[in-house]
Structure 1
Amino acid sequence: MAMLSNYSEQAPSRAEVDAYQGATVIEFGTDWCGHCQAAQPHLAKAFSEHPHLQHLKIEDGPGRPLGRSFRVKLWPTLIFLRDGEEIERLVRPQDAESIRQAMNNIVR
């Protein structure tokens, strides 16, 4: 699966996320967030080396249940899951290497 370019207003339920199999990256943020925009080149570079990873790009904000269930406070927040379990988290990543390393930690 390729990296997604826009944040989706539609989010799976937490129960659906917990049931995911394999490696998944959830990216919480918004299209208008400057920090989110600045992270996109780093994400693109990391995803170019891990195109098989499932990527969910979820619009976050007050009252959004999935982001609240993960206690997201700042954007972008990247949640790295293996079989529905959080393995690692990056908040406002500023380089592709840290994202790539976290991706490596969820790949079997």
Structure 2
Amino acid sequence: MVHEITDANFAAETATGTVVVDFWAPWCGPCKMQGPVIEELANEETDIKFCKMNVDDNQQTAGQFGIMSIPTLLILKDGKVVDQVVGYHPKAQLQKTLENYTV
């Protein structure tokens, strides 16, 4: 399951464990392609929490992390950014990236 998060609950939702945050917007073509991949991974990777944040509605957090292009995936470990992936990436490529952050 992918959790929708906002500026208001970002810190609480990403404070513990490994969390992938998908920064996206409804008008973004590559975001529409990335969304289903994130959904699939969320159903398979039980050690990782997956969240998505609409950058149009949550500009404060996007600005805080310098999100300039979407989709951008931030990988956080216990509230700290440990990796960033920009642009569309197929499932196999994301799985390989996430291998470094699973228990």
Task: Identify whether the pair has TM-score above 0.5, normalized to the shorter chain.
Answer: yes
Aligned residue among 39, 56, 59 for 2:51: 56
Alignment of 1:67-86 (within 5 A): 67-86=62-81
Mark the runs of 5 or more structure 2 residues left unpaired by the alignment: none
**Displacement, 1:13?**
5.9
Aligned length: 103
TM-score (norm. length: structure 1): 0.77
TM-score between both structures, scaled by the size of structure 2: 0.80
Q: Secondary structure at the match of 1:86?
A: strand
Contact 2:47 2:102 in 1 (8 A): no
Q: Deviations over 1:34-92 (max 9, x none)?
A: 11001123223332321442222111149811011111011110001111111111111
Asked if residue 46 in structure 1 is aligned to residue 45 in structure 2, the reply is no
2:11 aligned with 1:11, yes or no? no
RMSD: 2.6
Query: Would the aligned equivalents of 1:13 and 1:66 in 2 still touch at CA under 8 Å?
Result: no
Unaligned regions of 5+ residues in structure 1, if any?
none
Corresponding residue for residue 31 of structure 1? 26
Instruction: In structure 2, give the amino acid aligned to 1:73.
Output: M
The runs of at least 4 consecutive aligned structure 1 residues that moved more than 3 Å come to: none
Q: Which residue of structure 1 aligns with residue 84 of structure 2?
A: 89
For each residue in 1:1-41, what CA deviation from the matched residue of structure 2 results, as whole angstroms up to 9, or x when unmatched? x124xx65x32366x26970101111101122111001123
Whole-Å Cα distance in 2 between the matches of residues 95 and 38 of structure 1? 9
